[in-house]
Amino acid sequence: MLHIRAMTLDDLDLAMLLKEQAGWNQTEADWRRFLEMEPTGCFVADWDGRLVGTTVTCIFGHVAWIAMVLVDPDFRARGIGKALMSHALGFLDDSWVSTVRLDATPLGEPLYKKLGFDVEYSLARFEGTPQPATPLHEKVDHIQPQDYALLFQMDQLITGADRSKFLSRLFAEQSEQIRAIRSAETIAGFLACRPGTRAWQIGPCLGRRGIGSVLLAEALSRFVGKLVYVDIPVQNNAAANLAERSGLNVQRRLIRMRRGPPVTERTDHIWASSGPELG
């Protein structure tokens, strides 16, 4: 019989196996980060003692994300994905979250619509090994811990959510991969990257036109010859064009969806999302 329970560190090996079966890019460090950020909001589906599904949640104030909805291929079409989603939504409802968001694959979109989610917009996942680009003239800096508060503030203004508990962990884990452009006494844009099991995930990359483009170009230049993923809102044509000029191609489409009131988000300032886990 099916039983939904809280995920623990002891489940990570099997969670990674499900992730590998799906061909996704997350590492064990990503799973550990999910558990650190929302220790009571990550769940597994247990079928007679066998782990057959996962999902995680992360609460950013009034906004929450659901991600990593995975079901063992041998146990699909048994309602496990729906049961996991319903359990996660119940947890978030009890946490008084007003808006729940997720990035869906085309396969999962029908289920999420049945659960009350509406389509917001699409993203294109670009994949490839970047080609050498024209040298940059804008100064791109490494960031320091004292810069974090400015980055958190900027991120919230653009994404509409306080993602500091995610970004602070990401910055600490990948401090050598974080870049920013400064303007006077503030930060005009920033970019982060992290390793995956298949490719480097570039993002988030946030900034106005002329800032975000420089940061994304710098990251693509940094990873010349290495496989990268970049998830770009389809509305940001300049970012998509930059990815294409760098030799990347669209691997697949993602659909950003929400349940609840819309979130004020500046997609024209999003040159690369954080990935499908956290927007």
What is the pLDDT averaged over residues 238-248?
Answer: 95
pTM: 0.94
Do the Cβ atoms of 257 and 118 come closer than 8 Å? yes
Are 167 and 221 found together in one domain? yes
Q: In the chain, pLDDT over 90 holds for what percent of residues?
A: 88
Do the Cβ atoms of 47 and 70 come closer than 8 Å? no
In a domain, 150, yes or no: yes
Point out the domain boundary residue: 78, 97, 116.
97
Are 143 and 267 found together in one domain? yes
Give residue 70's domain range: 2-97
In a domain, 258, yes or no: yes
In a domain, 160, yes or no: yes
Are 92 and 187 found together in one domain? no
In a domain, 259, yes or no: yes
In a domain, 254, yes or no: yes
Which pLDDT band, with edges at 50, 70 and 90, does 136 fall under?
low
Are 129 and 244 found together in one domain? yes
Are 22 and 137 found together in one domain? no
Are 88 and 219 found together in one domain? no
Q: Tell me, what CATH number does 164's domain have? A: 3.40.630.30
- Given a cut of 70, is residue 137 above it in pLDDT? no
Are 8 and 54 found together in one domain? yes
- Given a cut of 90, is residue 189 above it in pLDDT? yes
Q: What is the CA radius of gyration of the chain?
A: 18
Tell me: the pLDDT tens digits for 48-69? 989 999 999 999 999 999 999 9
Are 48 and 141 found together in one domain? no
Are 174 and 231 found together in one domain? yes
Total structural domains within the chain: 2
Enumerate the β-bridge partners of residue 257. Answer: 102, 119
Enumerate the β-bridge partners of residue 253. Answer: 124
In a domain, 133, yes or no: yes
Mean pLDDT score across all residues of the chain: 94
Residue 143: its pLDDT value, please?
Answer: 86
Which pLDDT band, with edges at 50, 70 and 90, does 138 fall under?
low
In a domain, 106, yes or no: no
Are 145 and 265 found together in one domain? yes
Are 93 and 129 found together in one domain? no
Tell me: the pLDDT tens digits for 141-177? 888 899 999 999 999 999 999 999 999 999 999 999 9
Are 135 and 202 found together in one domain? yes
Point out the domain boundary residue: 55, 80, 97.
97
DSSP the chain: -EEEEE--GGGHHHHHHHHHHHT----HHHHHHHHHH-TTSEEEEEETTEEEEEEEEEEETTEEEEEEEEE-GGGTTSSHHHHHHHHHHHHHHHTT-SEEEEEE-TTTHHHHHHTT-EEEEEEEEEEE-PPP-PPP-S--EE--GGGHHHHHHHHHHHHSS--HHHHHHHHHHTGGG-EEEEETTEEEEEEEEE--SSSEEEEEEEESTTTHHHHHHHHHHHTTTS-EEEEEETT-HHHHHHHHHTT-EEEEEEEEEEESS-----GGGEEE-S-TTT-
In a domain, 153, yes or no: yes
